[in-house]
């Protein structure tokens, strides 16, 4: 499946008969020798009655991931098709409880409350100091505003910031954000765990939109153009200086079904 170009291998593991090792996940995600994907998502039963379902999420390098916004939308559509869900439902992630709703071809996921907002931090890099903002929208994100996203040094600068001591010990995802107009931005993301740029990053889109609300006084909803060409929407409510009711809306599409020997 893919969500705005962010692609995933989804597996129905409700019987919990599948155990994937880190090398096996990486092999599935290998674009030359495997299926090719930014991550792998397994549908599993929830561990409590607070959620309808649960997932296990893995980055393309085989590491476990706490949350993925585009993956969450794909997972919701996958559950709808596999199980025949009629209406909204919730599922467990390492980041917390996520709620999913359907609007035609689009899926909306209600994300966990963002934490750790830090603005206008001066971070020293080999290329010079950069003004970086950061926010955890399920996973940590750094945000840099740039005049032209096409000219942003996503791979080089993204790799420097991703593992910078300022974001130790786990590192961060890095988003390069260009303001296109009122409540409208373009985002390119260097993703931790993929260790490169992806065509879209849902939690990065969300972090970029929320930080834009603080820095550029954007109001909900914010339209976000991603590298794959799609447009996502981030809506939110501000409550005493905090963000609440954060939602991410966008497409979630099936590409193909198949079997693979691992």
Over residues 187-241, the pLDDT tens digits come to 999 999 999 999 999 999 999 999 999 999 999 999 999 999 999 999 999 988 8
pLDDT mean across residues, the chain:
96
Q: What are phi and psi of 4, to 5 degrees?
A: 60, 30
Tell me, yes or no, if 29 is annotated catalytic. Answer: no
Mention every residue, 6+ apart, whose C-beta is less than 8 A from residue 15. none
Average pLDDT rounded to a whole number, residues 138-149: 97
Question: Rounded to an integer, what distance in angstroms lies between the CA atom of residue 100 and that of residue 228?
Answer: 23
pLDDT of residue 237: 96
Taking 90 as the threshold, does the pLDDT of residue 119 lie above it?
yes
Count Cβ atoms below 10 Å from residue 146 Cβ, excluding itself. Answer: 18
Helix 69-83 with 202-215: angle, nearest 10 deg: 130
pLDDT of residue 224: 98
pLDDT of residue 100: 97
pLDDT of residue 248: 98
Average pLDDT rounded to a whole number, residues 19-28: 97
Mention every residue, 6+ apart, whose C-beta is less than 8 A from residue 247. 108, 109, 110, 111, 234, 235, 236
**Active-site hit among 29, 68, 74, 106:** 68
**Active-site hit among 29, 74, 106, 201:** 201
Q: What are phi and psi of 105, to 5 degrees?
A: -80, -10
Taking 90 as the threshold, does the pLDDT of residue 262 lie above it?
no
Taking 90 as the threshold, does the pLDDT of residue 256 lie above it?
yes
pLDDT of residue 239: 85
Closest CA to 5 of 56, 91, 69, 49: 69
pTM check: above 0.85: yes
pLDDT digit string (tens) for 64-113?
Answer: 999 999 999 999 999 999 999 888 999 999 999 999 999 999 999 999 99
Taking 90 as the threshold, does the pLDDT of residue 127 lie above it?
no
Average pLDDT rounded to a whole number, residues 26-51: 96
Tell me, yes or no, if 106 is annotated catalytic. Answer: no
pLDDT of residue 136: 97
- Answer whether 71's CB lies under 8 Å from 138's CB: no
β-strand partners of 121 = 132
Average pLDDT rounded to a whole number, residues 159-170: 94
Mention every residue, 6+ apart, whose C-beta is less than 8 A from residue 227. 5, 187, 188, 189, 197, 198, 199, 200
If you write DSSP's letter for every residue of 47-64 in order, what string do you get? SSTT-SEEEEEEETTS-B
């Amino acid at each position: 499946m893919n969500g705005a170009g962010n692609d995933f291998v989804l597996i129905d593991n409700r019987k919990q008969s599948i155990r994937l090792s880190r090398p096996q996940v990486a092999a599935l995600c290998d674009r030359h020798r495997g299926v090719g994907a930014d991550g792998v998502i397994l549908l599993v039963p929830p561990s409590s009655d607070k959620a309808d379902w649960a997932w296990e999420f893995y980055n393309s390098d085989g590491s476990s991931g706490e949350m993925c916004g585009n993956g969450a939308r794909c997972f919701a559509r996958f559950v709808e098709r596999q199980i025949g869900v009629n209406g909204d439902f919730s599922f467990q992630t390492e980041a917390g409880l996520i709620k999913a709703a359907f609007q035609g071809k689009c899926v909306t996921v209600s994300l966990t409350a963002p934490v750790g907002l830090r603005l206008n931090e001066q971070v020293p890099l080999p290329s010079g100091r950069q003004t970086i903002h950061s926010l955890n929208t399920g996973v940590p994100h750094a945000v840099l505003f740039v005049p032209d996203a096409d000219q942003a040094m996503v791979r080089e600068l993204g790799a420097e910031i991703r593992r910078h001591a300022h974001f130790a010990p786990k590192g961060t995802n890095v988003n390069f954000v260009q303001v296109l107009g009122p409540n409208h931005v373009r985002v390119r993301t260097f993703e931790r765990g993929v260790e490169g740029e992806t065509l879209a990053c849902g939690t990065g889109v969300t972090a970029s939109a929320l930080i834009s609300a603080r820095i550029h006084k954007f109001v909900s909803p914010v339209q976000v153009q991603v590298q794959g060409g799609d447009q996502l929407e981030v809506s939110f409510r501000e409550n005493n200086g905090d963000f609440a009711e954060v939602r991410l809306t966008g497409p979630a599409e099936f590409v193909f079904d198949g079997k693979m020997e691992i």
